[in-house]
Amino acid sequence: MMPEAAGEEAGVSEMPSPLFAANWKMHLGPSECSAFVARFAGLYGPRDDRRVVFFPPAVSIVTFVASATGREDLEVGVQDVHPEAEGAHTGAVSASMAADAGARWGLAGHSERRREFGDSDELVGEKLARLLDSGIKPILCLGETLQEREEDRLYEVLSRQIGAALRELDASRRQALTYAYEPVWAIGTGHTATPTDATEAHDILRKRIAHLTDEETAERATILYGGSVKPDNIDELLASDGVDGVLVGGASLDPESFAAICSAGSR
């Protein structure tokens, strides 16, 4: 949901601005990353009414930061980190290394990690803790499968995922989280949740966040929608109640299409 025009009243702090996040998954290595940033920067200028964050593969984080010099509005994050701070874990990346490379944000709980790598709710909670230990802002991804939706288990699944992931985090750490509702049946499938579906799920999440934190934290929490977001459906998704931004996979790989998405609400 786009925020009300500025209008900050005395004593009332402004709500966080909408967030547009790009999850590149296993695409765009360093060379393609730098070409993308050059092109994207020419299409999308800095604006203070929204936040834009990219999640390149870990090997492209340093390149992203270097390519985006002078464009501090284009932030960068890490797609996944190991739950331990360091050690003999061939192929893994720690949160502190990601921070050292320039990552300011981190995903945890993406459905592809849950499905392909067996990331459990508890492991996701440990990853949130490591990200926070390194000063990285986590985005906790949650969402139901098609089967769970058809079995009318949306509330149960979202409650279980968020409850388990936040269990070991104290109150101040819980306040530092951003969320992404990503129905598994909508990721990379071309099927998008309707605005009503998105609002229903975001409403469940916001109530669970209030239960696990407090009303003010829940009201201020950024909850993204993710699942086949494209330039032609961004406007209606962003206008949906409770939707504070989007997490975009496929359509973020093309600079033109992601620039169009990031410009939504202003055309």
Pairing of strands 51-55, 74-78: parallel
d(CA 23, CA 245): 13
- Shortest approach of ligand PEP to residue 31 CB, angstroms? 22
- Shortest approach of ligand PEP to residue 250 CB, angstroms? 3
Query: Under the criterion CB under 6 A, does residue 80 sit at the interface with ligand PEP?
Result: no
**Interface with ligand PEP (CB under 6 A), residue from 162, 248, 262, 264:** 248
Query: Under the criterion CB under 6 A, does residue 183 sit at the interface with ligand PEP?
Result: no
Q: Mark residue 190 as left, alpha or beta (left: phi above 0; alpha: psi -120 to 50; beta: remaining).
A: left
Q: Residue holding tokens 């601005």?
A: 17
3-state secondary structure of 31: helix
112, 144, 182, 200: which is the annotated catalytic residue? Answer: 182
Q: Which residues of 177-214 are buried (b: 16+ CB within 10 A; e: fewer)?
A: bbbbbbbbbbbeeeebbebebbbbbbebbbebbeebbe
110, 112, 126, 200: which is the annotated catalytic residue? Answer: 110
Query: Which of 68, 130, 126, 141 minimizes the C-alpha distance to 102?
Result: 68
Query: Under the criterion CB under 6 A, does residue 247 sit at the interface with ligand PEP?
Result: yes
Query: Under the criterion CB under 6 A, does residue 117 sit at the interface with ligand PEP?
Result: no
How many Cβ atoms sit within 10 Å of the Cβ of residue 135? 12
Specify whether 191 is catalytic. no
Query: Under the criterion CB under 6 A, does residue 56 sit at the interface with ligand PEP?
Result: no
Query: Under the criterion CB under 6 A, does residue 187 sit at the interface with ligand PEP?
Result: yes
Residue nearest ligand PEP, CB atom distance = 249
- Shortest approach of ligand PEP to residue 158 CB, angstroms? 16
Give the dihedral of Cα atoms 144, 111, 137, 197; nearest 10 deg. Answer: -30
**Interface with ligand PEP (CB under 6 A), residue from 94, 199, 213, 228:** 228
User: 212, 233 in Cβ contact below 8 A?
Assistant: no
d(CA 195, CA 192): 9
Instruction: Name the one range near ligand PEP by CB under 6 A: 119-127, 154-162, 163-171, 180-188.
Output: 180-188
Query: Under the criterion CB under 6 A, does residue 18 sit at the interface with ligand PEP?
Result: no
**Interface with ligand PEP (CB under 6 A), residue from 18, 77, 242, 250:** 250
Specify whether 211 is catalytic. no
Judged by beta carbon, residue 33 or residue 187, the one nearer ligand PEP is 187
Query: Under the criterion CB under 6 A, does residue 229 sit at the interface with ligand PEP?
Result: yes
User: Which residues contribute to the site for ligand PEP (CB under 6 A)?
Assistant: 23, 182, 187-188, 226-229, 247-251
Q: So which residues are the catalytic ones?
A: 110, 182
